Amino acid sequence: MTAKTLSPVVDPATQNISPGKVYPGGVDSHHAPVVFPDGFEAQIDEVITHYPVSKRSASLPLLHLWQETFGYISPEGIEWIAAKLELQPINILELVTFYPMFRQHLAGKIQVKVCRTLSCALGGGYALHDYFRTKCKVGEPDAHGLAISEDGKYSVEFVECLAACGTAPVIMINDDFYENVSKQTADELLIKYT
């Protein structure tokens, strides 16, 4: 596999993120001004109080909260969280690009997550992942392993153990959990969610 060349997203002199520059595969095609839902900033402030010794320790919880709220971590989110924690944007960006659970663009409206850890891998998780990719017509996975259809309707990705190893292969669709998933079940589930 050929390694991708990454463009610099942070100005080394200022540590600022250049507008519009994100990693390949993380291109944000849904750019819109960030509007905070009611109570969002209060929730952020409350989380930070759990880390009185070092606000930096709140970085991951804040990123999770941002992604749960907005669906992905935008450049604006990286800058905002960094400012909130009195860090540089690079300190937050490096977490977003390191941890596979963070996304730099929206996932599909119907999100298929296939477990690839040992039991599920042995139980057909990889073949199931391929099957969903074909059925959902998603493209190549991005740097975070997320493959999304052109219309944004579906995304398919691998996840690690979903704690039901005895009933492999296991998947999630959005927040719903399914065990012993066959190709036939996959077809039925896709009809159910369409």
Which residues contact ligand FES by CB under 6 A?
A: 115, 117-120, 161-165, 168, 170
Residue closer to ligand FES, measured from CB, 151 or 175: 175
Residue closer to ligand FES, measured from CB, 73 or 120: 120
CB of 113 to ligand FES, least distance (A): 11
Residue closer to ligand FES, measured from CB, 25 or 125: 125
CB of 177 to ligand FES, least distance (A): 10
> Measured between alpha carbons, how far is 151 from 110 in angstroms, rounded to an integer?
11
User: Where is 148: in which H helix or E strand?
Assistant: strand 147-148
**Residue 169: cis peptide before it, omega within 30 degrees of 0:** yes
CB atoms within 10 A of CB 100: 14
CB of 115 to ligand FES, least distance (A): 3
Contacts of 68 (CB under 8 A, 6+ apart): none
| Tokens linked to 65 | 């909260």
CB of 180 to ligand FES, least distance (A): 11
